[in-house]
Amino acid sequence: MKNATRAIPVDLLRIFAASAIFYFHCGLATGWPLFHWGEFAVATFIFLTSACAMRYSQVAAGEAPAYWWARFKAIYPTFAIISVLLYVASFIYQPHKTGSHYTLADIASNLLLISQFIGRPWMTDPMWFVPFVLQVYLILPLLTGIQVRWQTMLAAFLVSGTACAAVYALHPAQPNFAYGLCRSWSPIFLLPEVLFGCFLGRARSVADGVAPVVIYAGCCAAAALLAMLYPQASPLLFLPLKGLLVFLVLAGFVAAVLPFIKNEQSKIISLFGRASFPFFLLHGPGMTFINARFGSNILAWILYFVFCWAAALVFMLTLEKARRPHAVRSAPTNEARSTCIR
Cα distance between residue 342 and residue 73, in whole Å: 9
Highest mean pLDDT among 137-141, 187-191, 282-286, 321-325: 187-191
Q: Rg of the chain over CA atoms, in angstroms? A: 20
**Is 50 exceeded by the pLDDT of residue 334?**
no
Residue 221 sits at the vertex; the CA angle it makes with 215 and 225, to the nearest 5 degrees, is 145
pTM, rounded to two decimals = 0.84
Q: Which of 229, 243, 251 is nearest to 183 (CA)?
A: 243
C-alpha–C-alpha distance, residues 197 and 268, integer Å: 26
Q: What is the pLDDT of residue 98?
A: 64
pLDDT on residue 329: 43
Nearest by Cα to 220 from 47, 32, 3: 47
C-alpha distances in Å from residue 67, one per residue of 135, 151, 339:
13, 28, 11
- The alpha helices in 263-297, defined as continuous H runs, are 263-282, 287-294
DSSP 99: S
Q: What would the pLDDT profile of 71-125 be if each residue is shown by its tens digit? A: 898 889 999 999 898 888 888 877 766 667 888 888 899 899 998 888 888 888 8
**Residues 50, 197: contact at Cβ < 8 Å?**
yes
**Collapsed DSSP state (helix, strand, coil) of residue 1:** coil
CB–CB of 277/75 below 8 Å? yes
Q: Is the pLDDT of residue 5 over 70?
A: no
Q: Considering only CA atoms, which of 134, 106, 196 is closest in space to residue 160?
A: 196
Backbone torsions φ then ψ of 229, nearest 5 degrees: -90, -30
Please answer whether residues 150 and 136 qualify as being in contact, where contact means their C-beta atoms are separated by less than 8 angstroms.
no
Q: Is residue 332 scored above 70 in pLDDT?
A: no
pLDDT at site 210: 83
Q: Helices 175-184 and 150-170: crossing angle, nearest 10°?
A: 140
Contact 167, 196 (CB under 8 A): no
Burial of 19 (0-12, 13-18, 19+ CB in 10 A): buried
In the prediction, which pLDDT does 60 show?
54
The number of residues making up the chain comes to: 342
- CB of 194 within 8 A of CB of 139? yes
* 318 phi, psi to nearest 5 deg: -65, -45
Whole-number mean pLDDT of the chain?
A: 84
Q: What is the pLDDT of residues 248-260, one digit of tens each?
A: 999 999 999 888 8
Say what angle helices 104-111 and 64-89 make with each other, to 10 degrees.
160
Task: Quick: pLDDT tens for 94-104.
Answer: 776 666 788 88
Question: Within 13 Å, how many C-alpha atoms sit on residue 219's CB side?
Answer: 27
